């Protein structure tokens, strides 16, 4: 199965390797993140990186239009958020993806995780992946 585009991730530490590999594979990466100075050096490091800026609502609207343009209807949002009991408040990922969730008329499957806690990521990724690929799998 071929990937057409990577949407996200937000965190600079995560987007850096994704954007490097995607540049090698010639796959566009669209993200509201990657705001660090290093990402402005598109050539040779991040040739396919597209940084989106604006309000979180703007990001949600942009994602919604991109998905509609390509006919992608099944979306899964997997993002970092701090546990409520941590007292840290919400992570930036939560705020951005809540706008995406709203722009998609609250139809996206969503699952947050707290990277500071031990979790069973394998089963969570299988769950989230099954929801994002359900239309594709049912059409094969």
Where do runs of H (alpha helix) occur along the chain?
12-25, 56-70, 92-103, 121-132, 134-139
Residue ranges covered by each domain of the chain: 1-53, 74-140
Average pLDDT on 111-130 reads 76
**What are phi and psi for residue 127, nearest 5 degrees?**
-60, -50
Work out the number of other CB atoms within 10 angstroms of the CB of residue 60. Answer: 20
List pLDDT tens digits, range 7-38: 888 877 788 899 999 999 999 999 988 877 78
pLDDT in tens, 72-107: 877 888 877 887 778 887 777 777 778 888 888 877
Q: Are 63 and 79 in contact (CB under 8 A)?
A: no
Q: Which one, of 7, 11, 6, lies nearest residue 93 by Cα?
A: 11
- Number of neighbouring beta carbons within 10 Å of residue 86: 11
pLDDT tens-digit series, residues 123-135: 877 887 777 764 4
Q: What is the 3-state secondary structure (H, E, C) of 30-41?
A: EECCCCCHHHHC
């Amino acid at each position: 199965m071929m990937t057409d585009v990577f949407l996200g991730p937000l965190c600079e530490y995560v987007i850096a390797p994704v954007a490097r590999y995607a540049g090698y594979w010639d796959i566009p990466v669209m993200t509201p993140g990657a705001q660090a100075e290093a990402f402005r050096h598109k050539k040779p490091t991040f040739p396919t990186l597209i940084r989106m800026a604006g309000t979180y609502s703007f990001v949600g609207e942009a994602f919604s239009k991109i998905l509609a343009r390509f006919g992608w209807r099944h979306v899964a949002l997997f993002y970092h958020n701090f546990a409520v009991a941590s007292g840290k408040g919400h992570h930036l990922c939560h705020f951005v993806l809540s706008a995406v969730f709203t722009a998609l008329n609250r139809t996206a499957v969503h699952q947050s995780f707290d990277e500071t806690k031990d979790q069973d990521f394998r089963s969570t990724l299988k769950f989230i992946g099954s929801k994002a690929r359900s239309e594709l799998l049912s059409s094969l």
